[in-house]
Structure 1
Amino acid sequence: MDAACMPTRDGTVIVENEAPDAYALPGLPGRVVVSTGMVHTLDETEHGILLAHERAHLAAHHYTFVALAQLWSSANPLLRPFAIAVTYTIERWADENAATTTGDRHRVARTVGKAALATRQAPARAVGSALGFLGLHGRRGPLASADPVPR
C-alpha cells in the first residue's frame, strides 16, 4: 500500500479519494490513513475523535487480535462467531479509548456512527484496511453485510 511509504509528521496519511474511509495501517511505524472524502465528511472536532479511535487500534495492536482470530476461524470454522466477536470487541475498545482521550463519550458515539454511515454508503474498498478484512458473510438481517462499527 502506498500509504505505508508516504511521509507523515504525526503518523497520519491523507489520501486523495472521494470515498469516505479511515483505518489503522499496522507497521513500523504504524499509520492512520484517512481519505479526503472522510476529511470532508467530518468537522474538526470529529477529526480528532476519528484519529483517537484509529490510533487506539495501533497502540493496542488490535490488528494482531483480529489476525489471530481470523487464522483460528480459518482453521476451525466453528470459531467463526469468536472471530466476529473479537472484531466487534476491538472496535468497542477503540471507541472507549477515544472517549477516554477526548472526554466526551456522547460525541465519540455520534462521530463513530457518522463515519460508519459515511463509509457504508461509499463503494466497498479493496482489502487494505488493517481491521476491515474480517467480513460477516453468511449472516442474515439488515446488518448482514455491516462492519462492526455500524452494528
Structure 2
Amino acid sequence: MAAAGLLAVTLRAAGELRRQITTRRAAANECRHATNELVVHDCDDVYAYAVPGRDPHIVASSAMLRLLNTRQRRALLAHERSHLRHRHDLYLFAGRLSAALNPLLTRHRDDIGYLCERWADEDAAEHLGDRTLVAGSLASASMAVLGAHGQLGFERLGVRHRLAALASERPPNRPLTAAVYAAFALIPLLAASDATVALWRIIETARG
C-alpha cells in the first residue's frame, strides 16, 4: 500500500512538472523573436501575463490594452514587472508542486498565488505613487474577466480583497514580501497542524 501511495504521489508530481515545463516552453517560444519587452497578441480575450526567463517579456492581448487608458497601462506593466523581478513564478511553481504531492495543500497553493498578486499590486502602487490608479486598472480588467467567466472567475482572482487592500494604506509593519516568503518556507512543514495554523495566520494578516 505504501509503495502504491508513493507511486501515485510521484506520478502526480511528475505530471505537474511536465505541465509546467510545457507551459514555460510555449510561452518562451511565443516571445522568441520579440524585440520589445511588451508582446501584444491580437485577440479579443482579456489577459496579460509575465514570461520569466533569461529574456523576460510581458504578454498582453490587444483587448486588454484597449480596456485601459495610458496611465492604467503603466500600472499593468508595473504589476507584471514585479512578477518578473521577484520571480513569482518560482513561488507559484512550488505551490502547484506541493498541491500535486498533497491535494490537501490546494488551498495553500491558491493563497500563495493571491499573495503574489498582492505583492505585485503593492509594487506597482509604490512605483507609480498612486494606489487609486492601480486599483482602477485592476477593476477595469477584472470587470472584463467577470463578463467572460462570471462570478467564479472574479472570486478566483481574489479581486475583492485586492481592491479593498489598495483602497487602504499599506500597513508598514506587515510587508507582503515577508508573508509570501513565510508561506513559501512553510510548505514542506504543512503536514504538521501547527505549521498549517501558522501559515493560515500569515495569510489572514497579509489580507488585512
The one-letter code sitting in structure 2 at the alignment partner of 1:5 is R
Deviation at 1:51, TM superposition (A): 0.3
Is the alpha carbon distance of 1:60 and 1:44 closer, same or farther for their aligned partners in structure 2, counting shifts above 3 Å? same
Identify unmatched segments of 5+ residues in structure 1.
124-141
The one-letter code sitting in structure 2 at the alignment partner of 1:68 is A
Alignment RMSD: 2.0
Is the alpha carbon distance of 1:19 and 1:144 closer, same or farther for their aligned partners in structure 2, counting shifts above 3 Å? closer
Tell me the alpha carbon deviations over residues 1-28 of structure 1, each in whole angstroms, 9 at most, x when there is no partner: 353223233x111111111211111222
Instruction: Look up the match of 2:30.
Output: 3
Matches within 5 A, 1:36-75: 36-75=62-101
Identify unmatched segments of 5+ residues in structure 2.
1-25, 161-208
- SS of corresponding position for 2:134: helix
Q: Distance in 2 between matches of 1:121 and 1:30?
A: 30
Matches within 5 A, 1:1-151: 1=26, 2-9=29-36, 11-122=37-148, 142-143=151-152, 146-151=155-160
Larger radius of gyration: 2
Is the alpha carbon distance of 1:30 and 1:100 closer, same or farther for their aligned partners in structure 2, counting shifts above 3 Å? same
Identity percentage of aligned residues: 33
Higher relative contact order (CA 8 A, sep 6+): 1
Question: Matched residue pairs, number?
Answer: 133
Deviation at 1:144, TM superposition (A): 6.9
Deviation at 1:54, TM superposition (A): 0.7
Deviation at 1:117, TM superposition (A): 2.0
The one-letter code sitting in structure 2 at the alignment partner of 1:148 is L
- SS of corresponding position for 2:145: helix
**TM-score, length-scaled by structure 1:** 0.79
Which one has the bigger helix percentage? 2
CA contact (8 A) 1:21 1:35 kept: yes
